[in-house]
Structure 1
Amino acid sequence: MARFPDLLHRALFTSFSLLGRRSQGAVLRRYFDWWHRRPDPWRLSSDTYEQHKYQTTLGQLPDAAYPRVLEAGCSEGVFTELLATAYPDAEITGVDISEKALERARLRNGKFAGRVRFVHADILDHDFRGGFDLVICAETLYYLGGGDRLRHASHRLASLLAAGGLLVLVHPWPEAQRLHRFADAAPGLSKIGERVEHHVHRPFSVSLYRARP
């Protein structure tokens, strides 16, 4: 069951989703810039739960090269750094709606300059060129509310994949069943795996989808 603070959190962002898409995006930019007024507000770089989630996600990825990678909602680039280390030949794009977060992401990943870049954008509206071999979206979809916004986000993420590319969604369980339902039903995707970590204080799911040729 979701914890009460999480339920309040979700209710807040569901109310934001009643705004038009541009207005919702503007509110989210201000919200996340406010959160990132201080470094690492969610302790992504130090919390043992977050580190476990990152390692679990990496451990679920099929053994492959992944030349082009996109991380949607990269925050301060903590997981981006792990990706860049795990896949030293990959070109990685991190996307986030908070410029304050991205300033720290660029500093953290400066050693990977030339193959890791960060883009300040709303993934729903930015005109990205597709063809990514790996797209990862973690702890992000619940900020969009539900219904049409969630459907659009799921289809948008799928559209960024190259033929045979891998989409990875990581969200709290059992809420992931709702958040991932449009990816589950997308005609261009095949679900190839799911791991649910039940035995942690905040259970989560790692779901994997392959883009059909």
Structure 2
Amino acid sequence: MVSAMDPGYFESMYAESADPWGFDDRWYERRKYALTLAALPRPHYRRAFEPGCSIGVLTAQLAERCDRVVATDVVPRALASARDRMQREGLADRVELGRASLLDPWPAGAFDLVVLSEVLYYLTPADLGTVLARAVDSLEEGGSLVAVHWQHPVPEYPQTGRAVHDSVAALDGLQRVGSYRDADFHLDVYTRGATPSVAAAEGLS
């Protein structure tokens, strides 16, 4: 087993299809993105990081809620599609796209939102620990961390979605503020440090 899945695995997927996971077309994906965005405790964020952005479907939706989104992927073809999407949707000035893997150095500076969507199960347990430590370190106090993963086992993946969510739940310094799980995917939202609930923040409780 390699430390993280070889970029060639992903490049071969995009060589066969411009959208190999059906991010643009499947109701499953549209519903998952809607639930992810609805679970964010803040209406707006200053600076978000989304590694593994693929063709930028979720990236564009995050950009509607953020001043700036930094998004990365390992496949040039996917990044080109994401870049075209940002231009079409008038979001290019709010999204910074770059080629990088989860194990490459993270972008400099702090984030108030980190979105780990369908990426952590590509890591071995040791590398997962490294990446999660980076995620927490890069998150501002009161910032949000979102983890969303497919729950069915995939033989070629180093870990399952269930296993990586257990690892996120065990992190120090994070407080879970929301969760959704069905037969297919698991969504957890955390904040760094204690923060008021959405209702409390608006003086409703």
- 8 Å contact kept, 1:124–1:156: no
Residue 43 (structure 1) aligned with residue 11 (structure 2) = no
TM-score with structure 2 length normalisation? Answer: 0.83
Aligned partner of 1:161 in structure 2 is 139
Residue 92 (structure 1) aligned with residue 69 (structure 2) = yes
Q: Which runs of 5+ in 1 are unaligned?
A: 1-14, 18-23
- Residue identity matched to 1:151: G
TM-score with structure 1 length normalisation? Answer: 0.80
1:12-54 Cα distance to aligned partner (Å, 9 max, x none): xxx223xxxxxx4xx6222212211231111110111111111
Structure 1: how far apart are the matches of 2:142 and 2:177? 12
Which of the residues 63, 78, 87 maps onto 1:101? Answer: 78
- Residue identity matched to 2:51: A
Aligned partner of 1:29 in structure 2 is 7
Deviation of 1:177 (Å) = 3.3
1:12-161 equivalences under 5 Å are 15-17=1-3, 24=4, 28-37=6-15, 38-85=17-64, 87=65, 90-110=67-87, 111-145=90-124, 147-161=125-139
Deviation of 1:127 (Å) = 4.1
Higher helix share: 1
Aligned partner of 1:197 in structure 2 is 182
* Partner SS for 2:43: coil
Segment of structure 1 superposing worse, 155-164 or 67-76: 155-164
Structure 2: how far apart are the matches of 1:39 and 1:119? 18
Q: Which runs of 5+ in 2 are unaligned?
A: 153-159, 195-205
Matched-pair identity in %: 34
- Residue identity matched to 2:171: A
- 8 Å contact kept, 2:79–2:99: yes
Aligned partner of 1:3 in structure 2 is none
- Residue identity matched to 2:7: R
1:134-165 Cα distance to aligned partner (Å, 9 max, x none): 110111111113x2112112212222211111
- 8 Å contact kept, 2:51–2:101: no
* Partner SS for 2:167: helix
